[in-house]
Amino acid sequence: MSRTVDHVVAILAILRAGAACYSLSPKSTPAQVARAAEIARSRCLFIDDGALQRLAASDVLPDASWLHLGPAPPDVEAASRRGVAHVDSRAEGPRSPDTNAADLAPAADDDVAIVLFTSGSTGAPKGVMISHGDLRRRVARERADLALSPSDRLLGVLPFSFDVGLNQLFSAVTAGATLVLHNSWLPADLCSAVARHEITGISGVPSVWTSLMGYREEAARACLGALRYFTISGGDLARPRLLRLRELAPSTAIYKTYGQSETFRSALLRPSEYDAKIGSVGRAVLGTEIVVVTPDGRIARAGEPGEIVHSGDGTMLGYAGDPEGTRAKLRAHPSRPGALAVYTGDIGTLDDDGYLYVLGRSDRMLKILGHRAYPQEIAVVLESHPEVREAAVVGVRGKGDEHAICAEVVLVPGSTATVAAVRRFLGQRLPSHLVPAALAIVDDLPRTESGKVALAALEAKYDGGVG
């Protein structure tokens, strides 16, 4: 379904019934919908008009009953051809006098509540199972961390198929706040919505803020300054961009968050810590533990890099229909016998104060002329160029087990920078073996629905074409 009030009603009704649900992008292909329905063993698929037209015309069909939810009946011919039932979402139905919005569902804590299909930004999507109990705890944590109240008016720009967007929905509903659904990330539309709806908070991914920072300064400053808070979630920004955000919004609370679909929120950098620890993604949130583990299984010392391991609240139940993948991701805690932890695949360090710094993905570590490096290190340098708005870096196999570095950059509006100029900039700041073999200036980067850069798509683009 598209991100509408009907979509919200469907999610809350399913949870209220004690069942489990998941959301898919309205742009999903019939094959992707069928795969998700098979993985999650769906009994019913809620669809809107757009989905009905796409699915009815396909031979690849989800093995589930279809229920059209909307204010008006669907296309009669398409509905009858596929046996689609219809529910009028505007019809008056029975109401429970003791319904409490803060109680999302009556199900047992250990029952599955949500399946989140990972974004696919780094590979094939997986269905992450989240329990009802953990959902309640993470929503309560978000309300407390962001100090949400009925007076808040939040702008929902992220899809419900993304953990940050979904948790914003639940935390707004249970706090009694207003959530304004907004389906455009264009800076002009964003600024207009903030002013028109008197928005107090936004949960956004780096691309939202990068785009806004490239907009007219006066408008960006007014937009960010009108907010009580905003979050940088689903990734981080290079230091110059973080400093620029502080400059544009000196009195607005900025939260940085770190996590995965498998862990939800592992770390949080609070507004009071932003300036002193600007390169960090924060410390472990209440109810969770973060440790860094070296390749030999030892818990790393402060400043020593290793794999980031999460345990406690936010830990997934496992991957739906994928016991092998679950065993690989959810393993024994490195120091607490009997406890399970999520091995994130991210490489990072913890400082003496317990603040986490993320270096990159372990499965994207590059080997170049015998040296090891992470694409994110190169992307950070690229984004420090005053005319580069956003950058993405990947490594593809070259000769033998060596990697070739490939990078794409999006320039700030009005920039006249050339590939040669960007290369010279990198050459002055990086060793020669880390200057990308392929460097291109593009209008935009490939993205997932949640706005993350689709690194797997970028790798596929250059695979076999370099070195």
Q: Residue 68 corresponds to which amino acid?
A: H
Encode 77-106: b = buried (16+ Cβ within 10 Å), e = exposed: ebbeebebebbebeeeeeeeeeeeeeebbe
> How crowded is residue 121: how many other Cβ atoms within 10 Å of its Cβ?
20
* Packing angle, helices 217-225 and 187-197, rounded to 10: 40
Q: Which of 41, 108, 18 lies closest to 320, judged by CA?
A: 41
Neighbours of 44 (CB within 10 A): 16
Residue 133 near residue 110, CB atoms below 8 Å: yes
- Taking each helix axis from N to C end, the angle separating 49-56 and 30-39, rounded to the nearest 10 degrees, works out to 100
Write down the pTM of the prediction.
Answer: 0.84
Neighbours of 461 (CB within 10 A): 16
Report the 10 Å Cβ neighbour count for 340: 13
Cβ contacts of residue 417 below 8 Å, gap of 6+?
Answer: 385, 387, 388, 411, 441
Which residue stretches of the chain have pLDDT < 50?
A: 97-102, 121-122, 467
Distance CA 415, CA 454 (A): 24
**For the chain, which domains are there?**
107-145+253-362 (3.40.50.12780), 365-462 (3.30.300.30)
Looking at residue 314, its pLDDT comes to 92
pLDDT at 233: 95
Beta bridge partners of 88: 70
Sheet with 65-70, side-by-side order of all strands: 44-47, 65-70, 85-88
How large is the C-alpha radius of gyration of the chain?
23
Give the DSSP letter string of 319-342: ETT-HHHHHHHEEE-SSSTT-EEE
Tokens matching residue 378: 């190169």
Burial zone of 183 (CB within 10 Å; 0-12 exposed, 13-18 middle, 19+ buried): exposed
Assign 3-state DSSP to the chain and report helix, strand, coil percentages, each to 5: 30, 25, 45
pLDDT value at position 98?
Answer: 43
Length of the chain (residues): 467
Spatial neighbors of 195 by CB under 8 A, at least 6 apart, are 222, 223, 226
Burial classification of residue 152, based on how many CB atoms lie within 10 Å of its CB (0-12 exposed, 13-18 middle, 19 or more buried): buried
User: What distance, in Å, lies between the first and last C-alpha atoms of the chain?
Assistant: 43
SS (H, E, C) 206-253: HHHHHHHHCCCHHHHHHHHHCCCEEEECCCCCCHHHHHHHHHHCCCCE
